Amino acid sequence: MFNSQLNSKSIARIAAIQTLYQFENDKQDTDIETLLLQIIDFYRDKDIKSDYELDSKSLLKLKPSFNYLKELVKHTHDNIQEIDKIIEDHLSNEWTIRSLPQLLFATLRVSICEMKYFPETPRNVIINEYTDIASDMLDDGQIGFVNSVLDKYADKKR
């Protein structure tokens, strides 16, 4: 996924997943707004390419759409119970919300949020984007799981 085609919305999606993941890990210590500001600061860092072990001469720009990032995090956080219910409704019998690995759970939360609250983005774009993101961050079984949950939810929304 790390090619020069990565756009600012794709990076905003990754940053939103990072924010929600961090929020789950730091629940007692930090509020969502503080975490969001920390993530934004990270992406504003001029030396971010070295954090991703990229050549400093790389043409890849790792700047998210900060407005899109803020909207994704806000909508996901504000509607977390409804989003979790949607995820729960699409889990197979052997899974529960609490048994999901946290990075997988954060990915599902943000992707379901975008599908539900950002109707201007075509469903197939959302499914493709989050499947691509999952392929960089999750293991093979989890990639298919993300794709399956989003497909089922998209079919239900039609």
Q: CA Rg, the chain, in Å?
A: 15
Q: Find the mean pLDDT for residues 8-27.
A: 92
Q: For residue 150, what are the contacts with CB-CB under 8 A and spacing of at least 6?
A: 111, 112, 115, 126, 127, 130, 131
Report the pLDDT averaged over residues 56-84.
86
How confident is the model at residue 96, as a pLDDT? Answer: 86
pLDDT confidence bin for 60, thresholds 50/70/90: low
The model's pLDDT over 87-146, given as tens digits with 9 standing for 90+, comes to 999 987 788 888 999 999 999 999 999 999 999 999 999 999 999 999 999 998 899 999
Q: What is the pTM of this model?
A: 0.86
Ordered domains of the chain (ranges, CATH): 8-157 (1.10.940.10)
59/156: higher pLDDT: 156
* CA 18 – CA 35 distance, rounded (Å): 9
Asked if residues 107 and 146 have their Cβ atoms less than 8 Å apart, the reply is: yes
